[in-house]
Structure 1
Amino acid sequence: MFEDVTVTFNNSDPRCVTDYKVINDKEEVWIDFTLNSAKEDMYSYVFEVSAGTQQSTRYTIAITDPTQRRNFSAVIKLPNTTFPAAALRDGKQSYRICALNEKGVYIGDGYKKVTVDVNPSFMIYANRDIFLPDTVAKSLPSFFSLTDATGFSYTNAAANAAKIDFGIYRKPGSNSTAQTPTWVVNLYSPSVATNPLTVYDISGFSPKRTTKFSQPVTGQATAFLTTAISGSSIETLAKARAITFNETTQTLPANGIAAGNAVFFLTPEGKYGMMYINAVTADLQKRPYVNVSIKVQR
């Protein structure tokens, strides 16, 4: 039965994919296809998107022209806001075209698919720990490089100043009381006008990187996992925020560097990125730290 339907992927343009195609981020891809049904009329088709381990997403599109019930052609151009799940992401993503009859029943896909492989356009650094400052020994890594996700303590920070994008610190939250103390965590660039953590003298750091930051944005788990999927999508997310700050200045713990929040940034090299806060917790020695994951353009 299913052999009665064939799918041909046409090479009508250099942007077309007919089997397997490697592209770079921001390039356009066309899926030019022709559906043929030998025995049964087609009333719609399914555009199926499959990426990695995620469950496939299917879009059903009606075939409205009655003269094309047995032979139908169309071109799907990606990226395309009509098919958000088909957004071009780093790595491999496959697409199928399936025909449906008048009752919406699957009648075949020609046993074919096409695959687009997008070259890597961003780096991801998962689960990196940044400790809150220890103001006595000054040996815990409370400074951080977004370029390679390396942490530095105050004792070796000056020697690595050219790599450091920010440090973190905490202060009592505006909702803190003697009975229920709270802490809000913020970050600051070495190029900040006024050092918020005076116990760490950063005046001698040279050179000082001038990475700019957004204020923390709440509820960013889904965006980090499923929207920030390429260098261009990270840039789009970042540009939707005001990335003009040398420090975050939140007063409530939930609005600062807190689990589920993200800070967007722009490096001096012009690379956009997103830092997602996985947790604010403490180790077995009760030393508080922040666990983060980072996506940054290559």
Structure 2
Amino acid sequence: MDMNVSVGGLQLRNPVMTASGTFGNGLEFAPYGDLEKLGGICVKGLSLKPREGNPMPRIAETPCGMLNAIGIQNPGVEYFVRSILPSLKRVDVAVVANLYACDADEFGELAGILAAEEGVHALEVNVSCPNVKEGGAAFGQDPSQIARVTESVKKRAGNTPVMVKLSPNVTDIVECARAAVDGGADSLSLINTLLGMAVDARNRRPRIANVVAGLSGPAIKPVALRCVHQVCRAVDVPVVGLGGIASAEDALEFILVGAHAVQVGTANFLRPDFAFSLADDMAALLSDMGVESLDEYRGSLVLPL
């Protein structure tokens, strides 16, 4: 089965991408499978300057998921371009750079640096990280700021496709999606993590030093599906769905409600080899259902009258 997809100008050999922050920069997972079996790799979030991230502890397991408050720890864009990207360029896979900044101008500057680099195939704009204190949540909760950030990135991105990653921690995700499209987004990815927390009843302390963290994993899939379903019906740009995917059937549920591609996140921690076989597993399941193409299946959900 032909599993090639185009996501807002980003060409993928199959609809399986790895979610930013869950797969390192891709190279760390090479011992567990063939990176060229993936449709794309969304690298760890990048900022203009190095970031130490949030204090420890910053990961906690929860029923059917996990909480994280890493805080965009990364060595900065210059290090990525100089020391990581050259190795990634030797792998035949789409590389998506995930951008994090504290204001629209900074997002634009970061976009300009990365878009100029051969080997960066798309930019994913993180306007929705819930666990960094310098404006991360505010961007994703304000449609006007989403539009402003998207416009700033698009002005500097040249021909590099721009994907905007949306937060579920809003009243109306459709309004946020429309704002990103109005700002020039070529595609959207959703959802980022849900706001959550965990506490220790015995020592009376939070389990995460940041107190509030991002909830991911199978527990959030129903929310993610609802958001992707609503957004796919409201906008004309392609949508990449993520949130709790842990099987081929999970992934196809996102395609069924309209997504062009998916991203695998928390499952990478449980099974570091999971993403490498997912596209083949999806194709096999479609064949078992008598479906002849991915396009035929996409958005074919039958709704009640």
When Rg is computed on C-alpha atoms for both structures, the one with the higher figure is: 1
TM-score by length of 2: 0.25
Q: Does 1 or 2 have the higher relative contact order (CA < 8 Å, sep 6+)?
A: 2
Q: TM-score, normalised by structure 1?
A: 0.26
Greater per-residue strand proportion: 1
Higher helix share: 2
